[in-house]
Structure 1
């Protein structure tokens, strides 16, 4: 190789390295945006959502609806508990802004109507944990319950949850593989 060919070769290598570097940076940026605002992975820890979800299940959370404050009754969500351990809880949305949630005679009522909860184990009784049995869901809040009503720290204890603390809602159980399903 003569001197000009060697220089040209080095310049081409540097151009290629620069192009790969830019591609890697763009890919990392897009992955960060995707994870932050679109889809994230979470692990279920504990029995509070049984029989729907079990300890060590792996789920994926959709985050766009949270960013647009479009959370619906019945969705399974993950939220920051704001406790001293900074735990994240996974629960089911029962009431949204403006709803009146009542717990009486072992049943849950939203706006005066008993809700159908096919996801619960047959015969499940929902008991109030504190003397309070009626909850008015305020602005930018939701009321949540675990599917395992006898073993769940939820709105019966915590009160209504601020929608800003919601991290996403479950759209897919990815593990265990023999129980993959969408929500």
Structure 2
């Protein structure tokens, strides 16, 4: 092979590597990011050390699982969006009422056995917890799926949308539980 042909191939390879590196940088910093679930607050949906992918550009809807900067620490939390701006929220007899209508939460362990009591939510209204009758604009009300073991909006109040990193769209570890979360 000629020296100039080798040089051209080398420069082509360098450009390809550069584009791949730039592409990965853009994806990780602006579109998708890996994250880890810490703790038990999202059981039974996620368990401690589950590895997840966060979509940073997804629009946030009710019942999405999100990652956000915790308002009370430097940590990132994984929680479920229960209330979006304009929602009225109430829990009665372990049933969620959104805007006056009962909503089934299929992602929770709904069992009255003593072993499952920690997963129950308890009774509250939005007014009792926050002083507001509806979720304000640009904020969300979030809860962990393990209601008895979760630091969530019941304790730190509404979550500002600026704190949201993105929506959890995929679990890639453990390998026996790969896929899109409920």
Please tell me the TM-score bracket, short chain as reference.
0.7 to 0.9
Question: Does the 8 Å contact 1:92/1:146 carry over to 2?
Answer: yes
1:17 aligns with 2:14: no
The equivalent of 2:161 in structure 1 is: 163
CA-CA distance at 1:11 after TM superposition: 4.0
- Runs of 4+ more than 6 Å apart: none
The equivalent of 2:78 in structure 1 is: 90
Distance in 1 (CA, whole Å) between partners of 2:167 and 2:67 is: 6
Distance verdict in 2 for CA 1:25–1:143, change over 3 Å = same
Gaps of 5+ in 2: 112-118
1:121 aligns with 2:109: yes
CA-CA distance at 1:134 after TM superposition: 6.6
The equivalent of 1:180 in structure 2 is: 178
CA-CA distance at 1:115 after TM superposition: 1.7
Q: Which among 121, 132, 141 is matched to residue 129 of structure 2?
A: 132
CA-CA distance at 1:9 after TM superposition: 4.3
Question: Does the 8 Å contact 1:107/1:125 carry over to 2?
Answer: no
CA-CA distance at 1:37 after TM superposition: 2.7
3-state DSSP of counterpart to 1:64: coil
User: How many pairs are equivalent?
Assistant: 170
Q: Give CA deviations for 1:32-63 in whole Å, capped at 9, x if unaligned.
A: 11122332211111000001111111111222
CA-CA distance at 1:133 after TM superposition: 6.8
TM-score when normalising by structure 1: 0.82
Q: Which among 132, 144, 147 is matched to residue 146 of structure 1?
A: 144
1:106 aligns with 2:94: yes
Root-mean-square deviation (Å): 2.2
Structure index of larger Rg: 1
Gaps of 5+ in 1: 1-7
1:33 aligns with 2:26: yes
CA-CA distance at 1:81 after TM superposition: 0.7
